[in-house]
Structure 1
Amino acid sequence: MLQALGGTVPPNTDHAVSVSLPTWRTNVGYEEGEDWVMTKMKCGYPRFFVHPIIQKLAQEIVRRVGDLNLETATLFASIKTARICHSFLLGKIPAEQAHKVRIVNFVPSPHTEAGSTAVTSTLSCVIYPNEYASIAKQVWQHSGNGISSRRGEFCLGALEDGFLVEDKGSATAELISQRPCKGPRRYQAKNGARKGSIGDSPPRGNEDGRDYAQFIEERFGRNLSTSLANQAKLAVRKRIAGVLTADVELPEALETASSEGRVAGISEDDVLLYPSGMSAIFNAHQTLLATRGELPSICFGFPYTDTLKILQKWGPGCVFYGHGSSEDLDDLESRLKAGERFLGLFTEAPGNPLLKTPDLKRIRALADQYNFAVVVDETISNFININVLHLADIVVSSLTKIFSGDSNVMGGSAVLNPHGQYYAALKKSYDRDFEDIYWAEDAVFLERNSRDFISRIDKINSTSENITAMLKESPLVKNVYYPKYSPTKPFYDGLRNPNGGYGGLFSVTFHTTDEAIAFFDTLEVLKGPSLGTNFTLSSPYVLLAHYGELDWARSFNVDPDLVRVSVGLEEVPDLRARVQRALDAVQNVRK
């Protein structure tokens, strides 16, 4: 069962979202950056670990337009997202070094099919001195706007075959590139001499686009068209709006709809797709700043780490209520009564990793009275189990998780409440500023993966209740954190849909670190970051998310030795047997 250190999770998956860190020690080694771990990493969670394909593409970009010995590149799908990184870098480095940070854009060459439905991609590259890589990585991690590995794979092939070229203004329009570049493979002679290349006269076949069509066919094994990708995105948006609940093929999905969604009057037009869940949160914050002005935010409850970092590093900062308690709301109300004003309150329902649910009804009442927006991250439980949209202005989610389930594609969504107090203003801002940078092939995978997500969630809910009850009964266990057993259960139940459950994520703690290690190391499931997978997945979550701030996490009652488990689709007897063997290992340590 144990996957080798550094292998993809799931195994043998080129675009896997998780990576195997199979023991407690390997997780510590990863956080410490130890060579025996890092040299074996074939992938990682995409916002924390740049996929090898993207690394290769970045190196090729720098080789062509920079200095490989001195410079590094961070890659984005649009000029707008690249400028966010560029601006962040300039704000962190000495002013006299600013000229060394630049954006280089790559665009489809005229050899592609102009006006056709064939997929193309632009690429905006922020290039900077190597010593600033850690600063750029913050943007990659926090914003979630970086390119996906599938887009990276496509762009690398297009670059090598001459279908993606540096944008040099008028020079690009004339299809002139001074840098050596291979032409499309079909026009290369067997002995290596080029019969036709970008920079020479174009191969004659390019005049009618046949070569690019072949390129697409070779890359995808079929013609992946923009129309197919747009249909997939539409079906996904309809599912997220709640107006499509049937498990149907794509053509039927575009025709099938119920009369009601998550709230009355909602449509797929109120759903926006992003390359990751974090990108949805980042852009929700950016949109609120553009709509309501430069006001500080509120981060309510112990959050997923990057949400707090976004609110702290962009805009005028935030007030952090890490306990998410009624006393915290009392303090917030006293601030509001004293005249403090806020942009919005960002929270999770439930939170990660303690699975506590905020008092959203009270938060909504305060927001209405004192004019701030409410942004709720529903990733942990998802909208099949709970409905928070009527209490929020924007609901964000990581589609990478249970909505997809297969752990092989990233995605995120933001849903606007059509009855929210800021709906008209937010809709106007999104209509003006939103750009669709969700990669075509990722959308196709996400749509296919999500067709059966309702039935998957039902099974995972049931299994999770069974396993958490088993752990609650064990005297070896210190605490089980799960919405059903949380002191905030009444708040969760107030949000539950008629057939909704308590989700597939729980956390467990033990009485000593050695016991926690024994449980984690013995538990026969895949081990790595992420959650919401179709297979059970576990991690020492606090070590991974807060390794450099464990005392800070402990101050909010988050145990550094906590083990987090995301339940999959395994049969209950099988999973109970695995958990029992892990508990037996805890008992042996106690002896």
Structure 2
Amino acid sequence: MSPMVLENEVEVGESLPPSTEHAVSVSLPTWRANVGYEEGEEWVISKMKTGYPRFFIHKQIQAFATAIVAKYGDGGEAAMLFPTNATASRCRDFFVRLAPDAQVRIVDLVPAAEKARSDEMLIISPKISAVLFPQDRFSIAKQFWQHSGDGVSSRRAEYCHHLFREGYLIEPSSLNQSPRVCKGPRRYQKQTSIDLGTSNGEVQDPGEFVEQRFGRNLDLSLTNYAKLAIRRRIAGSLTADVGLKEALSMEKNTAMTRNVAGFSEDDVYLYPTGMSAIFNTHRKLLEAIGQRKAIVFGFPYIDTLKITEKFGPGSLFYGYGSEEELDNLERRLEGGERYVALFTEFPSNPLLRSPNLERIRILADKYDFCVVVDETVGNFINVNVLPYADVVVSSLTKVFSGDSNVMGGGLVLNPKAKSYRLLKQRWAEDYVDNHWAEDSIVLERNSRDFVSRIERIGANAEAICDVLSAHPRVKQVNYPKTSPTRVNYDKCRNPNAGYGGLLSATFYTRQDAVAFFDNLDTVKGPSLGTNFTLSSPYVILAHYGELDWCAQWGVEADLIRFSVGLEETTKLVDAFKRALDAMSQS
């Protein structure tokens, strides 16, 4: 049978959305393409214009790193780029721990002239710290990049690379040698009255920029206001779909938010990525509470487990997230074992199981460990997990943004938790906002309609769940509404809220799974929470080197994950039905 003509098929390696410079997903449109990517096959790798940013280093970042090595490096060196010396130092320390013989150093780059330290430039913060290391040890640096999520964003790299090329991003020791400040990339320049009043045109108005893409104007002097609006949305005190000016003029909601009295945006923190929020939470908890093992409860997104295994004393892993495993944990705690924190997802990815947060909270209070809940999949419009957590983390890259063109992470502290005073003090001492100014502006704009998007996405996902569940050749559908752990989800579900936009399915044969996937008329690639439906053979992409380990925890290699979007429901249902029909013809 000839393959079906797919309206949404995008060429392998193209960004998703197509022709989007800072896209966070990439097209892998067939089963064979996904396997080829994991196997490093040239026909896939050579076409990759981009990829998920923590796994594929954006070409803007690669180009900037190459330029830094060319100027400051020795033969055989490579570089990883970070926003601050502190984040770069953590990469260096990780590198030296794994390769004590390696020569690793940091090159800090800062804006050149006094003008660069104006109030506006402090908002933009165009600085870079490059970790230089032996090129043949690249895989070690890449591990830290992937696990920590603390690397520079592609927009930061693009802007700072221009400054670097023009000689205006330099080592601190050279600060007094360059009197001028560059205007930044030409597409950001805007002629101002200040510029018109100068003879050489070298004075910068660093707060005004124009982004030609999508016809959007970016006034980066508004960065702090955009960050505030984002934090208010995460706090739940700003849910209206309004512009930034109107959003900030609204009266601050001082009532109970997320059903936790005293909570506000003052307990919300922004990070470059969701994984950065998790990584830094683990790091800060070890520093504040002590060097104890962590607990990872339920089958997690892979890097959460890797963080607890590679940074600190290690972890105790409960891959099912079951009541029986909580029984085992309780026996361990009664026997005197102590842990720094329990990390869990609500619900989990990709099995969409919901842990018993109520029981976990009781154990945490009795035996003095923190509870860290990743609410990315559930999202705070649908579920309220804060009353059960000390810390709530989320990837803002996903449904909060929706547009698949910007990275971000959020972190929330619970003011009613026993640990709050200790953690609040730790964050006050150590927190640095490394979310790049441009990214904040884009994220704020993307998130204005997130409430209505989440409602529509949830309705579409329930319709797809019904279609898949009714087909006799579908082995299992994983969705919070139909999960055996639904009772745990419903305890946290907000009134009149839904069950989210993520679901997954398995089939009785690989042949059926491949036929279904290849004939499914959606775009296909990594990530989730996009405004368009995005499908992926998730386990192959996330766990290709450990498929047997996944199977041990009931996560099948041929599982397909669906992040449902905003399409018209009947059209989306028809696309899934046609893919199901294609199985019988394969």
The amino acid that maps onto 2:576 is V
Identical residues among aligned pairs (%): 55
2:29 aligns to what? 22
SS in 1 for 2:477: strand
Residue of structure 1 in register with 2:249 after alignment: 255
The answer to whether the aligner puts 1:407 opposite 2:413 as a matched pair is no
CA distance in 2 between counterparts of 1:23 and 1:354 reads: 22
Matched residues, number: 564
Q: Deviations over 1:365-418 (max 9, x none)?
A: 000000000000000010000000000000000000000000000000110001
- Matched with 1:193 is none
Partner residue of 1:192? none
Looking at structure 2, the residues matched to 481 and 222 of structure 1 have their Cα atoms a distance apart, in angstroms, of 39
* C-alpha distance after superposition, 1:112-141 (max 9, x if no partner): 444242434110000001111000000100
Correspondence for 1:161: 166
Of residues 78, 85, 93, the one that matches 2:91 is 85
C-alpha contact (below 8 Å) 1:104/1:167 kept by paired residues: no
- The answer to whether the Cα contact below 8 Å between 1:536 and 1:569 also exists between their aligned partners in 2 is yes
By how many angstroms is 1:162 displaced?
2.2
Correspondence 1:246 to 2:236: no
Q: Aligned partners of 1:505, 1:284: CA distance in 2, in Å?
A: 25
Post-superposition offset of 1:247: 1.0
Whether contact under 8 Å (2:294, 2:340) holds in the other structure is yes
Give the structure-2-normalised TM-score: 0.93
Looking at structure 1, the residues matched to 76 and 182 of structure 2 have their Cα atoms a distance apart, in angstroms, of 25
**1:56 to 2:63 alignment:** yes
Q: Distance in 2 between matches of 1:226 and 1:184?
A: 13
Q: How does 1:117-516 map to 2 (within 5 A)?
A: 117-118=120-121, 119-168=124-173, 171-175=174-178, 210-213=202-205, 217=209, 227-256=221-250, 257-258=252-253, 259-262=255-258, 263-516=260-513
Aligned counterparts of 2:553 and 2:183: Cα–Cα separation in 1 = 58
**Residues 185, 82 of structure 1: CA spacing in aligned structure 2 closer, same or farther, 3 A cutoff?**
closer
8 Å CA contact retained: 2:226, 2:444: yes
TM-fit CA distance, 1:225: 5.4
Structure 1 residues 362 and 184: CA distance shift in structure 2, 3 A: closer
- The whole-number CA distance in structure 2 between the counterparts of 1:219 and 1:584 is 45
**Unaligned 5+ runs, structure 2:** 1-7, 187-194
Q: CA deviation at 1:206?
A: 8.8
Does the Cα contact within 8 Å between 2:342 and 2:372 map onto a contact in 1? yes
Deviation at 1:184, TM superposition (A): 8.5
Structure 1 residues 164 and 356: alpha-carbon distance in aligned structure 2, compared to 1, 3 A threshold: same
What letter matches 2:111 in structure 1? Answer: P
* In 2: Cα distance, 1:423 partner to 1:184 partner: 42
Deviations 1:48-89 (A, max 9, x none): 00000000000000011013x401000000011000100000
Shift of the 572–212 alpha-carbon distance from structure 1 to 2, 3 Å rule, reads same
Aligned to 1:76: 82
Aligned residue type for 1:234? L
What is the one-letter code of the residue matched to 1:248? V
AA partner of residue 261 (structure 1): T
C-alpha distance in 2, partners of 1:527/1:331?
39
Contact preservation (8 Å) 2:515, 2:579: yes
Shift of 1:426: 0.3
CA-CA distance at 1:316 after TM superposition:
0.5
- SS for the counterpart of 2:86 is helix
CA distance in 2, matches of 1:552, 1:465: 30
Question: Deviation per CA, 1:283-306, whole angstroms, max 9, x where unpaired?
Answer: 111111111011110000000000
Q: Report the residue type matching 1:213 in the other structure.
A: D
Q: Pick from 549, 552, 560 the counterpart of residue 552 of structure 1.
A: 549
Cα gap change, 1:297 to 1:417, in 2 (>3 Å):
same
Q: Distance in 2 between matches of 1:500 and 1:185?
A: 44
The one of 103, 106, 114 equivalent to 2:106 is 103
Rounded to whole Å, the distance in 2 between the matches of 1:517 and 1:491 is 33
Which residue does the alignment assign to 1:190?
Answer: none
Contact 2:522-2:533 within 8 A present in 1 as well: yes
Cα distance in 2 for partners of 1:328, 1:371 equals 18
State the Cα distance separating 1:166 from its structure 2 match: 2.1
Amino acid at match of 1:92: L
Task: Answer yes or no: is the 8 Å Cα contact 2:468–2:474 preserved in 1.
Answer: yes
Superposition CA RMSD, Å: 2.3
**1-side partners of 2:68 and 2:425: how far apart?**
36
Unaligned runs of 5+ in 1: 187-202
Indicate the SS of the match to 1:308.
helix
- C-alpha separation between the residues in 2 aligned to 1:297 and 1:111? 46
